[in-house]
Structure 1
Amino acid sequence: MNALSSLAFLVVAGGRGVRAGAGAPKQYRPLLGKSLLSRTLEALHVAAPSALLQTVIHADDGEAFDACAAELSEPARRRLADPARGGVSRQESVRNGLEALARLETPPKIVLIHDAARPFADASLIERAIDAARDFGAAAPGVPIGDTIKEVDAMGCVVSTPERARLRGVQTPQAFSFELILAAHRACAGSKVEFTDDAMVAEHAGASVHIFAGDPKNFKLTTPEDFLRATNELLAALPDVRVGQGFDVHAFAEGAEIYLGGVAIPHAKGLAGHSDADVLAHAITDAIFGALAEGDIGAHFPPSDPQWKGAASAIFLQHAVERVKARGGMIAHVDATVICEAPKIGPHRDAIRASLAKIMGVAEDRVALKATTTEKLGFTGRGEGVAAMATATVRLPG
């Protein structure tokens, strides 16, 4: 932790998210190819790059968390601390995370406590949170209530109608002086009162909590409908849809296997090339570069450069994907065709699709793979080599 880290985010990610439906805990579910938690952490890092990222996770989620961390940009990973262990309640989980921060050589001065399921917190919201923590010591973002609110009794009868203008829907990140909220959580440890957010913990400890302007876009993903809404929000931010095409050919040579999409397939011959001659990965790489209008694979990895001799073509494909990410975009879909008489592609189709999806960091249903022959015509028909063609659909910010 360096001198710039007077600010820390504490991201609570230990819940099970049962209202999101069957499947993995919601914070690890994919949202346009990246886990919800990684999107939340990346958004916080972009908003405050010098801040420490402290998470609290369930004891069973170590592998899922590691996979999520691998999705982060390198700068964000450098700010990511080892996760703290979650407790039996949200309150206990937050306290565990605060105690992890307290054990640092230099604990933060300000901590922003945030839900893992809110991936749309932007820089302006974070700036308001930091200012509120500095000015008031304890603060939370709130949005005005649009509907009339009724308080009802056990029979469902209206007891009162609170004045709507005085009500706020409270969000996260909730912002605190680190010493204040740590002391408040320690004081409330073991309390039989159920505190549903950290502002309540601060209030119970005697602090006055300020409400600053929240953001309606900073909604929490709780139900399957929320995931659909979030997907639509992300796609709306990437209106520039582009399609690139790629084509590659490699001749057969001595060997006992060929590489297609990163998968080694046994064969009577290998493929000739400066790298591992993965004709399929090369075609897809060129298709992505084409969608970006950034040249071709040879411009980025010249075959005259000895460092690429025998290199795994996954390196080239990953670089093309990183170029998309660097421009704030995403791979929407890849459609590829392998052209050869042999080997048969069908038995390896699923493994190749899985390999390509992993290399590109996308869901498998965004990778299509077909195979065909040329009915004994041409060089592929004569069994002299393998060809591949691909199209890549890329979405970029407008």
Structure 2
Amino acid sequence: MSFSGIIVAAGSGSRAGGDKQWRALGGKPVLRWSAEALLNAGADELVVVVAPGAEDRAAETLAGLSKWRTVAGGAVRAESVSAGLAALTCGPEQPVLIHDAARPLLDRAVIDRLIAALDHADGALPALPVADSLRRGADGLMAGVVERDGLWRAQTPQAFRRDTIETAYAAWTETEAPTDEASVVQRHGGRVALVEGDPRLMKLTYPEDFAMAEALLSQQTRYQTRIGSGYDVHRWGPGGSVWLCGIEVPHDQTLIGHSDADAGLHALTDALLGAIAEGDIGDHFPPTDPKWKGASSDLFLLHAAQLVAAHGGRIVNVDVTLICERPKVKPHRQAMRERIAGLLALPLDAVSVKATTSEGLGFTGRGEGLAAQAVATVETPVSA
């Protein structure tokens, strides 16, 4: 059966450290996991509800996927879901799955169970029985026991036919905001089925939840190691400083190029693109395009890193070698490493920057230009 999907990704995620829907998990953004799961399961359309102004970020995160579009959400969840429903193009009888971006490990079996449940219910949600004993507390002390019989942990996505959930929301007159869509439908008199959930469909709420999710992924995903190399040169020209590996270094010359001519970041960008077979820097940022005149090479490197994430990959380490007689690189090497580590979200010990001369030989030895070489190691999932 065909269905439509809505992913709610407009929250701030403050308890997880902020912007959790955009953070990397298993080599790709959290939001992309949910989008791929719904689209791969056969969603006819997918509406991604994001905070106002986050549309470009969603476009980068979901690059290469089809059948999706964004809509701006509201201040509370109910407003965001209503915006997502209004953006759908499906008919009134179409099943709609409403999912939290913060639950990335969605399995096809859960989706199938939800849609099947709509044959005999007005709505459906995945749930797990509460296994732990429950206690009520006050002022740091146990204040009572809560019986766990009949208690369930609700998950998403939650499934409804479009007209059912829209009618229920239109009839909601309570002063408080609903906690989820199932409560809206039930309050309107609808029958909501509980289907078998999935322990892996955990919600990423706190920073430690990411470590748990990474551990789960590492057990079910096989990775292959890929290595990419990059090389770049620029000639010297008049100037008072030079950009190298993201750091402005005082010098009596500058490197000439269409952008900021940061040969170190250009070589590293090519190394990342090479590791995932995505062409070279000129394919993505043509020097004939005036848009990139004087552009910071940070943008190029971030773009390559985002493409790695879009492939489901993760950067393991990078190594850059600058080849020049002058300026002296060693005094700035630590700052360069820290800058690259920050751009790529890598630990400092995964970033190497070195420099060497060519002993007076060749164009670098004659002081005509500077060269840079880079190597990047990337891990990408092995296709089933």
- TM-score with structure 2 length normalisation? 0.73
- Mapped contact 1:337–1:389 kept (Cα < 8 A): yes
CA distance 1:370–1:80, change in 2 (3 Å)? same
Report the secondary structure of 1:242's partner residue.
Answer: strand
1:1-398 correspondence to structure 2 within 5 Å: 7-11=4-8, 13-14=10-11, 16-18=13-15, 20=16, 23-31=17-25, 35-55=29-49, 57=51, 62-63=52-53, 65-66=54-55, 68-76=57-65, 79-87=68-76, 93-98=77-82, 101-102=85-86, 109-147=94-132, 149-150=133-134, 156-158=143-145, 160=147, 162=149, 167-191=151-175, 195-236=178-219, 239-242=222-225, 244=227, 246=229, 248=231, 250=233, 252=235, 256=239, 260=244, 268=253, 270=255, 279-281=263-265, 283-285=267-269, 287-288=271-272, 291=275, 324=308, 327-345=311-329, 362-363=344-345, 365=347, 368-374=351-357, 376-379=359-362, 380-398=364-382
Deviation at 1:394, TM superposition (A): 0.8
Paired with 2:232 and 2:9, the residues of 1 have a C-alpha distance of: 50
- Mapped contact 1:283–1:388 kept (Cα < 8 A): yes
Name structure 2 gaps, 5 residues minimum.
Answer: none
Counterpart residue identity of residue 333, structure 1? N
CA distance 1:228–1:78, change in 2 (3 Å)? same
- Mapped contact 1:40–1:116 kept (Cα < 8 A): yes
Paired with 2:47 and 2:37, the residues of 1 have a C-alpha distance of: 11
- Mapped contact 1:11–1:55 kept (Cα < 8 A): yes
Paired with 2:75 and 2:2, the residues of 1 have a C-alpha distance of: 23
Report the secondary structure of 2:106's partner residue.
Answer: coil
Counterpart residue identity of residue 11, structure 2? G
Deviation at 1:330, TM superposition (A): 2.7
Deviation at 1:314, TM superposition (A): 8.5
Counterpart residue identity of residue 6, structure 2? F
Report the secondary structure of 2:378's partner residue.
Answer: strand
Q: Which residue number corresponds to residue 90 of structure 1?
A: none
Counterpart residue identity of residue 63, structure 2? E
Deviation at 1:336, TM superposition (A): 1.5
- Mapped contact 2:60–2:306 kept (Cα < 8 A): no
- Mapped contact 2:265–2:298 kept (Cα < 8 A): yes
Could you give the per-residue CA deviations for residues 197-237 of structure 1, whole angstroms, max 9, x where no partner exists?
32222222211111122211111111221021123334455
Percent identical residues: 34
- Mapped contact 2:3–2:97 kept (Cα < 8 A): no
- Mapped contact 1:354–1:364 kept (Cα < 8 A): no
Paired with 1:242 and 1:105, the residues of 2 have a C-alpha distance of: 42
Name structure 1 gaps, 5 residues minimum.
Answer: 88-92, 302-306
- Mapped contact 1:144–1:169 kept (Cα < 8 A): yes
The count of residues paired between Structure 1 and Structure 2 equals 366
CA distance 1:182–1:320, change in 2 (3 Å)? closer
Report the secondary structure of 1:86's partner residue.
Answer: coil
- Mapped contact 1:375–1:381 kept (Cα < 8 A): yes
Paired with 2:14 and 2:192, the residues of 1 have a C-alpha distance of: 28
Paired with 1:116 and 1:225, the residues of 2 have a C-alpha distance of: 17
CA distance 1:169–1:208, change in 2 (3 Å)? same
- Mapped contact 1:111–1:176 kept (Cα < 8 A): yes
Report the secondary structure of 1:391's partner residue.
Answer: strand
Deviation at 1:139, TM superposition (A): 0.3
Counterpart residue identity of residue 52, structure 1? L
Paired with 1:151 and 1:356, the residues of 2 have a C-alpha distance of: 44
- Mapped contact 2:6–2:84 kept (Cα < 8 A): no
